[in-house]
Amino acid sequence: MSAKKRIAVIGSGVVGQTLANGFIKHGFETMIGSRDAGKLKEWAAKAGPLAKAGTVQEAARFGDLVALAVKGTGAEDAVRLAGPDTLAGKVVIDTTNPIADAPPANGLIKFFTSLDESLMERLQKIAPKARFVKAFSSVGNALMVNPKLHGGPPTMFICGNDTAAKEEVVEILKLFGWEIEDAGAAEAARAIEPLCILWCIPGFLKNDWVHAFKVLRP
Ligand SMILES: NC(=O)c1ccc[n+]([C@@H]2O[C@H](COP(=O)([O-])OP(=O)(O)OC[C@H]3O[C@@H](n4cnc5c(N)ncnc54)[C@H](OP(=O)(O)O)[C@@H]3O)[C@@H](O)[C@H]2O)c1
């Protein structure tokens, strides 16, 4: 993909800012969209000339490619706010996890979805013409951009219904230092999203938050 593509990141939290900084580091003009654009002033001032801050709707219009990085319980609202028509035809990287508000028990976070339905499938139904690709959901923000780990590049699990959209996301993930495991169509998010539960266990049990999955083959 061309380095001239404009990126929208919807969500101003740690994941939104980490991914936006990653896109900017790789030369992409990037706008973070928030329900309260004012809270991004400090980020925009520090992040350099390629950085922009706006509302969720402004960002969705701005981006040729959109990364959704909002709280799982707000993800459906965020897609409605961005506008299914605005997102139509655009690649939407879905980083979200359907984490419920209930606290973790014995290190296991709780989801508000079942194993028969993923959050990304719900989002795809709200914006059927958006080209959703699940990515970045199964690793902590500290390792999302060009992770340096013993054992080489870790594996990012992706899925989505649009093959060309996945190819674009693969290019980004390679730029961001990842190996890619394509798990297939959107419903594979039912398997990818729960990796977040597994990923968080060492964090809650041992305060170990810096690790990533890797698929090994002979
Ligand atoms: N933290 C990680 O290391 C990590 C790793 C992998 C995946 N994820 C996933 O990435 C997503 C973002 O995580 P995070 O840690 O950055 O912070 P977060 O607290 O989960 O999400 C923060 C963002 O969610 C937005 N938001 C909350 N409720 C909303 C609503 N009702 N409508 C629209 N937007 C809403 C807020 O947007 P405003 O700016 O508009 O307030 C804020 O920017 C989550 O789904 C999380 O599961 C996180």
Over residues 53-88, the pLDDT tens digits come to: 999 999 999 999 999 999 999 999 999 999 999 999
User: What DSSP assignment string belongs to 162-196?
Assistant: -HHHHHHHHHHHHHTT-EEEE--SGGGHHHHTTHH
The continuous run of DSSP H or E covering 205 comes out as: helix 195-206
Quote the CA–CA distance of 9 and 144 in Å, as a whole number.
14
| pLDDT of res. 4 | 73
Which two tokens mark 30? 């990037």
- List the chain residues with pLDDT less than 70: 1-3
C-alpha distance from residue 52 to each of 5, 44, 60 (Å): 14, 6, 12
0.85 exceeded by the pTM? Answer: yes
Q: Are strands 51-55 and 155-158 parallel, antiparallel or unpaired?
A: unpaired
Quote the CA–CA distance of 86 and 40 in Å, as a whole number.
22
Å from CA of 36 to ligand 1 middle: 13
Ligand 1 atom nearest the C-alpha of 39 is 39
Which two tokens mark 90? 């655009």
| pLDDT of res. 193 | 98
Ligand 1 pocket test: pick from 9, 10, 15, 93 the residue with the most ligand atoms within 8 Å of its Cβ. Answer: 15
C-alpha distance from residue 89 to each of 130, 134, 164, 204 (Å): 5, 16, 11, 39
Regarding the beta carbon of 17 and ligand 1, being less than 6 Å apart is answered no
| pLDDT of res. 188 | 98
Å from CA of 218 to ligand 1 middle: 37
Q: Which residue has the tokens 């296991």?
A: 108
